[in-house]
Homo-oligomer: A and B are copies of this chain.
């Protein structure tokens, strides 16, 4: 597999780099911003995902001989640009929303300050990571809402690109999921992993009873038995006969779940298996989970809809040049005027204003201010931008398994601050208005 992230880049980033080098504007100090013009799927809030992955990817963004030889051989850029790329590492500053933070339209999620050359090269990588991970995290937090405290497991690896699957498991964990089926997400990011058996294990054996017996011998009676390969009532009966009433759980992966769960609960109770849990995993999304709130489900497994952002598989974030340094050293705001795609030029600073009860009421985007102006912000406003990379050095607080866990804790705290309206599942307006303060 890949060893550098440097070619995960659109060709035009390099073409622009080359033209700017030739024209003498490559070193002009610039400010780029990643933001969303609207929330995916008319949701009430978005969740920033991918920051921890992104910081590591930026630190690994180097052009080695493999990449440079290919670029030269294919005439993507000329010799002078190749020389420039050989020395490239990002040496600028990046501020951003913490991973797990809520975001709203126009929230300046990531602000990159560097030369044009250094910043433009990262556009594709930044957007790929933030768009996918945020799409998953934004879907996941809605499932957490719908589950009302019941545990959720991510199990959609098979419905996403094999590497995206790992990122999805991580993003879901940050948004409040409890575990994943994906082993690499466990190894790389410390996400708890889970899983017991598929239908194939039952089909491998000469009877369901034999399969259950093999599983219970291997994993103990605390395991989860999948009971819907043939007849569910017979499967439940067999499961308890084989494992005893201390069986950990049964799993249902098909059928009309609201009805089935009630039937199976009654059957388990009748068999004395009052502590045996019921987990369900049949093409769930936030709406299906919500319809199961009144029946005795103990935990949910969510696959396809989670890893595909439940209808919004990309968060729609964009990366725009918002300012460059003028001849006098001050920032010159720039913005495009394209129909339906206008951007807001200038440096940004952002806060979330809370009311007297600590409930968030407003996303404030200050245009023309920088982080150094944060001391003038009223106490009711929580500053949202934190330093992520300074002079090219990554703040390791946000990376790795520990950064992932911190992002999860941060997201839980952010949810507590949001107004009740933020947790409505229907399509609608953002839960907070974004106020642009000039």
Which residues in A have some Cβ–Cβ distance to B below 8 Å? 1-3, 5, 7-16, 18-20, 22-23, 25, 28, 30, 32, 57, 60, 66-67, 70-71, 74, 76, 116, 120, 123-125, 127-129, 131-133, 155, 157-167, 181-184, 186-187, 193-205, 213-215, 217-219, 228-231, 253-256, 304, 307-309, 313-314, 316, 319-321, 324, 334-341
B335 touches A203 (CB 8 A): yes
Kindly list 6 other residue pairs between chains A and B, CB separation below 8 angstroms, not including A11-B182, A23-B205, A132-B162: A7-B187, A13-B198, A120-B198, A124-B165, A254-B339, A309-B313
Distance of A57 Cα from B162 Cα, bound (Å): 10
B11 touches A195 (CB 8 A): yes
What are the residues of chain B within 8 A of A203 when measuring CB–CB? 320-321, 324, 334-336
What residue of chain B has the Cβ atom nearest to residue A322's Cβ?
B203
**Minimum CB distance partner of A67 in chain B:** B187
**Given A195-B10, A200-B16: A217 in contact with B22 (beta carbons within 8 A):** yes
Nearest CB in chain B to that of A4: its residue:
B1
CB within 8 A of A338: which of B74, B157, B186, B254? Answer: B254
Which of chain B's residues has its CB closest to A335's CB? B203
Min C-beta distance of A48 to chain B, whole Å: 16
Q: Is the CB of A10 within 8 A of B340?
A: no
Contact A195/B228 with A22-B217, A162-B57, A204-B116 known, Cβ cut-off 8 Å: no
A321 close to B7 (CB less than 8 A): no
Distance in angstroms from A431 CB to nearest chain B CB is: 25
Contact residues in B for A11 (Cβ distance below 8 Å): 181-183, 186, 193-195
Chain B residues with CB under 8 Å of A319's CB are 158
Which residues of B have CB within 8 Å of A160? 128, 131-132, 161, 164, 314
A3 surroundings in chain B (CB, below 8 A):
1
Given the contacts A30-B204, A214-B22, A132 and B338 also touching, CB distance less than 8 Å: no
- A214 and B341 CA atoms in complex are apart in Å by 24
> In the complex, are the beta carbons of A186 and B74 less than 8 A apart?
yes
With a CB–CB cut-off of 8 A, which chain B residues contact A229? Answer: 336-338
Nearest CB of chain B from residue A130's CB, rounded to whole Å: 9
Complex interface: chain B residues within 8 A of A71 (CB): 183
Known: A160-B132, A164-B160, A314-B304. Is A254-B341 also a contact (CB below 8 A)?
yes
Given contacts A132-B160, A161-B132, A334-B203, contact A218 B12 (CB under 8 A): no
Contact B8 A166 (CB under 8 A): yes
Q: Are A19 and B337 in contact (CB under 8 A)?
A: no
Q: How far is the CA of A19 from the CA of B324 in the complex (A)?
A: 62
- Which of B23, B162, B197 contacts A12 (CB under 8 A)? B197
Does the CB pair B158–A218 fall under 8 Å? Answer: no
Within 8 Å by CB of A158, from B123, B187, B205, lies: B123
If A132-B160, A159-B131 touch, whether A10 touches B74 (CB-CB below 8 Å) is: no
A123 to B127, CA, bound (A): 30
What is the minimal beta-carbon distance from A283 to any residue of chain B, in angstroms?
A: 9
Complex formed: what's the CA distance from A251 to B255 in Å?
Answer: 50
The answer to whether A158 and B183 have CB atoms under 8 Å apart is no
Residue of B nearest to A260 (CB): B339
Instruction: Please determine whether B166 and A218 come into contact, CB atoms closer than 8 angstroms.
Output: no
Chain B, Cβ-Cβ closest to A69: B187
Contact partner, A198, options B12, B202, B213, B228, Cβ 8 Å: B12
CA distance A15 to B196 in the complex (A): 6
